[in-house]
Each structure stands twice: as C-alpha cells, then as structure tokens.
Amino acid sequence: MLGLLLAILAAVVHLLYHQEFADTDIPNDCFAVAAATRETALPKQVCLTFDDGPSVNTRPILEILAREKVPATFFVCAQDINQEYLPMVRTIVQQGHQVAMHSASHRYAKIYQSSEAFWQDIKTLRQALEPYLSLEDLTWLRFPGGSTNTVSHRYGGSGIMKELKAETEEKGWHWIDWNVCGEDATASHPDADRILRNIQEDAKDLATCVVLLHDTRATAQTVEALPQIIAWFREEGYTFCTVEQLAELQSAGE
C-alpha cells in the first residue's frame, strides 16, 4: 500500500515556495511536491488535505465539506495557538473525515534535531489528541515541510528524513506528501482565485491528486476558495476520498 503511494509521489522536485518562520506560531510548510508519474490505472481521485489546524477556520471548512458531501484529511497540530480548537478534532472524526498526525510544535529547529526529538513531538501530539479520538486510528502522518525537505538538514543532518521515513514504516505507520499545492500558506497570501488557479495548474493531467491546503487562522482565503475547488474537481470527473481511502483503493487494485 505504501509502495504505491510512494510510486505516485516519487521522483519529486522542490518548487521554491518554502520559508521557515522560526519566530512565528505557524511556520509555512509549502514545499510543493510534484509527482513525476501523471497517470494511474485507477479512476480519477482527489484527496483534499488540510495542515496545521484546527483553528477558527476549521469549522467553516467542515460546514462546506458537509454541504458538498466531500471527505477530507486533516493533518493536525497541537500548538499553543490552537489548543482551544483541539476539541474540534472530535467533530472532524464524527463527520467522517480522517484525522492524521502532523506535529505538536511544528518548529523545525526543535523537531528535526534528531529522530528522538521528532518522535517525542509526535508523542506529545498523540497525547493532546487522545481525549478526542482513538489513538489506534492515528497511523498516518505528514512530515512538516514534506518528506524531502532540506531545512531539516540544518538541525539533524542530511540523513534525518531518510531515517524518519524508515522509522515510520518500522512502526507500521504510513506517511504521505502531496502533489498539488494551493500555496495558501505562502508569504504572498494569495486570494481565493489565485489559490484555485494554483491548484488547477498543479493538477493538470494528474489522475490522482493529493492537495495541500491549510486550515489555520491565517488562511481564511482557503475557506473562500474551497467551494470553487470542489466544483472544479467535480467538473473534471474526480472522486473525493481521504488519504486512507485512497491507499485502500490502490491496495485493492494491486
């Protein structure tokens, strides 16, 4: 299952969208990862994924998803800035969406010092989420900055990401990047129309799309863009699914 996901997202390139804001609560992690393979035997599928929440913008996103009957995956954090919104994780699960792990602190200098530091951060995240869901269901994660980020090398050396990916698999867990980026958390602060165009440009000719968006307090334009994003993917013939559902579909197709 993981092998197929890696095949879709293999041979990646970094676009130059990343900045690390060491002094901010929500660092920008928009490494846009472009898939080299643009075809698959499966029907056209799209996973909408939201990073760095929950926040004040998570509820309106959930309302749109409920109205449109679209499932999504939320890669959540447990930062000081979003502690009051953590109970919303229960609502995310109750509405049939997938909750997955991202980071507790989301601070690159902290979490990428070593593999031990990274897994301590994930332990802290899981403890914060435990009141709201079953930890047995938390088996998917997304590395802050993506699995091929180089910012982590400043802190844990050039082999840190390779080490973390191997350890994730050793735990029996799964990780996933993205191949479509809305660039909604970049320093340019794009409006809703620009977010939609970014997605359309990245998704062109892709049969399987994993879309990176954010549900932070700073991404209200993502809320504005979401109905248009959903409508566009529908017009293009895509079926919506969670990351876990996508993996199950790919596994069944082996």
Residues 6+ apart with CB under 8 A from 149: 14, 18, 29, 31, 143, 161
pLDDT of residue 251: 85
The residue-averaged pLDDT of 131-152 equals 97
pLDDT of residue 42: 62
pLDDT of residue 41: 54
pLDDT of residue 21: 30
Residue 26 has pLDDT above 60, yes or no: no
Distance CA 74, CA 238 (A): 20
* DSSP classification of residue 33: B
Instruction: Return phi, psi of residue 46, to 5°.
Output: -140, 135
The residue-averaged pLDDT of 192-205 equals 97
How many CB atoms lie under 10 A from the CB of residue 138? 19
Angle at 95 between CA 195 and CA 191, to 5 degrees: 15
Taking every pair of C-alpha atoms in the chain, what is the biggest distance, in angstroms? 45
**Which residue in this structure is represented by tokens 């998803």?**
65
Q: Which tokens sit at 162?
A: 């390779």
Residue 27 has pLDDT above 60, yes or no: no
pLDDT digits (tens, 9 = 90+) for 211-245: 999 999 999 999 999 999 999 999 999 999 999 99
Residue 84 has pLDDT above 80, yes or no: yes
Q: Which tokens sit at 163?
A: 């080490």
pLDDT digits (tens, 9 = 90+) for 168-185: 999 999 999 999 999 999
Q: Which tokens sit at 214?
A: 């954010």
Q: Where are the domains of the chain?
A: 2-252
Q: What is the pTM of this model?
A: 0.86
Q: Could you tell me which residues are beta bridge partners of residue 208?
A: 45
Q: Which one is the CATH code of 2-252: 3.20.20.370, 3.40.50.2000, 3.30.565.10, 3.90.1150.10?
A: 3.20.20.370
End-to-end CA separation in angstroms for the chain: 9
pLDDT class for 156, splitting at 50, 70, 90? very high
pLDDT > 90 fraction of the chain, expressed in percent and rounded:
81
Residue 10 has pLDDT above 90, yes or no: no
CA neighbor of 185 nearest in space, from 144, 152, 151:
144
